[in-house]
Amino acid sequence: MEQYKILYLASEVAPFAKSGGLADVTGALPKALKAHNQEIRLMIPKYKFINERKYVLREVIRLRDIPVTINGVTKTANVKSAFLPDSKVQIYFVEIEDLFNRPGMYIDPKTNKPYPDNAQRFAYFAKAAMETLKILSWQPNIIHCNEWQTAFVPVYLKTIYLNDDFFKGVKSIYTIHNLTVQGIFDPKVAADIDFDESQAKEGGMFNKDNKLNLTKAAIHFADFITTVSESYANEIITNPDVGYGFEKLLEEKGEKFEGILNGVDYSVWSPELDKSIPVQYSKDNLEGKTENKKILLSRLGLEFNENTPLLGMVSAVTEQKGFDLVLEAMDSLLKMNLQVYILGDGDRNLVEKLYEYRDKYPDKFAMSLSSDDKMVHLVEAGADMFLMPSKYEPCGLHQIYSLRYGTIPIVSAVGGLYDTVDDLDVETGEGTGFILDELSAKSIVKTVKKAVAYFKKKEQWQELQKRVMEEDFSWELSAKRYLDVYDRALNE
């Protein structure tokens, strides 16, 4: 296999900075690529909350006081270095004091709104990353970008750095993790991010619906586009409700657009190894799972009953994740022999309405807002079933974690959910979870009912658990597919 030099760029990487599944992916795929003998390095912004001592960030003398100029305004970057935990994958932290030394990543906690200079912040991050490569004399073959915060690089490579010998032959890959988060700005911002102003106007390459759209820019300029599951890749070119007007543009990319399913880092997400859950367990020792359930329920103030299944959800509370449907289904769900726990925050209105059910069914339903990582692991370990009725889901990771924890997923038939869960045939016992036959509250109720009935058949349920715990979605395979994409981008 060829060995490439790969720069992997992201705005968040677990465990340093995480707002969602993106960080799990960016913290794991590079390790898998390294295991395939690739020379890979990461760069992320150095946010204020990243603890330099805890993660042993080191100064790099050469990378101090790097001038980064955009539209005539120079800022100073200081780049520090560390390693991804338990690995030899190097990660650089780009510190630009006045842009990233703030309490939030994208949202200002004071106003609850995006920082008004987000486009400029990430433009400087991108340019600082490119300048850093030059100082290091480390010339990558591939720059792999993720989401709009890194969309600047594919554009810069083909515009302001086009005639720079250092970047000759460097190819950019752009991965879409969620097409609804597009990086939309006022076209007037173009000059401040070194984008051609005329292309930011209506009809231009950066313009969509009369706004400057960074996702559109990246799709135009990147050498290869990927997204995080095959079904989602298909949905965003065929279904306008999911493609948000990008259908045609992506379809035109032809062979240069592909869905590659995310993997899972099983060194973090396995009940045998998971240090953050009270009792480790495996498929040969499912009593350990019951112990976790007891501990979880007692923390939630709910009573344990071995015949009552616990349905867990860990999710942003939004309509995209299907919470409007969950609300509609709530009464019917809570009338079953079932307990429900929701861990997640989001849409105020939906959260408030969910709270009402807590008051109505205090011994069957619990909910908490904190996204405490330990609690997330405990839900995976302690719940019997896991519900994800998303309207669309690029990949989704919790259904895959759930499989490994013997927590049977109940999912809608979209995107990565569809690609990772097989609908159970209750007659033959084949399958790995329960799939909704349509996106509706009625279907949620019907499907959960089916799962609750199956849960009663203790032996079959345990067999199902043991079988799903053997499912393997490790990064190994997906990493190989990315390598194939790199090959194709470089040898076109």
Number of residues that bind ligand GLC (CB under 6 A): 14
Is 235 among the residues that bind ligand GLC (CB under 6 A)? Answer: no
Is 397 among the residues that bind ligand GLC (CB under 6 A)? Answer: yes
Both tokens of 285, joined, read 């020792």
For ligand GLC, the closer of residues 178 and 292 by Cβ is 178
Q: Where does this chain touch ligand GLC (CB under 6 A) — which range of 117-125, 190-198, 394-402, 470-478? A: 394-402
Q: Where does this chain touch ligand GLC (CB under 6 A) — which range of 80-88, 389-397, 443-451, 463-471? A: 389-397
Min CB(20)–ligand GLC separation in Å: 4
Binding mask 17-46 toward ligand GLC (x if CB under 6 A, else -) reads ---xxx--x---------------------
Neighbours of 188 (CB within 10 A): 10
Is 394 among the residues that bind ligand GLC (CB under 6 A)? Answer: yes
Of positions 182, 262, 412, 443, contacts ligand GLC by CB under 6 A: 262
Beta-strand relationship, 257-259 and 365-368: unpaired
For ligand GLC, the closer of residues 324 and 393 by Cβ is 393
Give yes or no for a contact between 12 and 24, defined as CB atoms under 8 angstroms apart.
no
For ligand GLC, the closer of residues 333 and 403 by Cβ is 403
For ligand GLC, the closer of residues 123 and 397 by Cβ is 397
Distance between CA atoms of 382 and 309, rounded to whole angstroms?
10
Of positions 38, 120, 132, 178, contacts ligand GLC by CB under 6 A: 178
For ligand GLC, the closer of residues 271 and 416 by Cβ is 416
Is 120 among the residues that bind ligand GLC (CB under 6 A)? Answer: no
For ligand GLC, the closer of residues 288 and 396 by Cβ is 396
Is 400 among the residues that bind ligand GLC (CB under 6 A)? Answer: no
Minimal CB distance residue for ligand GLC? 21
Q: Where does this chain touch ligand GLC (CB under 6 A) — which range of 47-55, 67-75, 100-108, 395-403? A: 395-403
Is 177 among the residues that bind ligand GLC (CB under 6 A)? Answer: yes
Is 228 among the residues that bind ligand GLC (CB under 6 A)? Answer: yes
Exposed, middle or buried: residue 439 (CB in 10 Å: 0-12, 13-18, 19+)? Answer: middle
Of positions 395, 408, 451, 468, contacts ligand GLC by CB under 6 A: 395
Angle, alpha carbons 377-292-296 (nearest 5°): 75
Over the range 299-315, which residues count as b (16 or more CB within 10 Å of their CB) and which as e?
ebebeeeeebbbbbbbb
Distance between CA atoms of 70 and 9, rounded to whole angstroms?
19
Which residues touch 61 (CB under 8 Å, ≥6 apart)?
A: none
Min CB(397)–ligand GLC separation in Å: 5
Q: Where does this chain touch ligand GLC (CB under 6 A) — which range of 301-309, 361-369, 390-398, 426-434? A: 390-398
- The residue ranges that bind ligand GLC (CB under 6 A) are 20-22, 25, 177-178, 228, 262, 393-397, 416
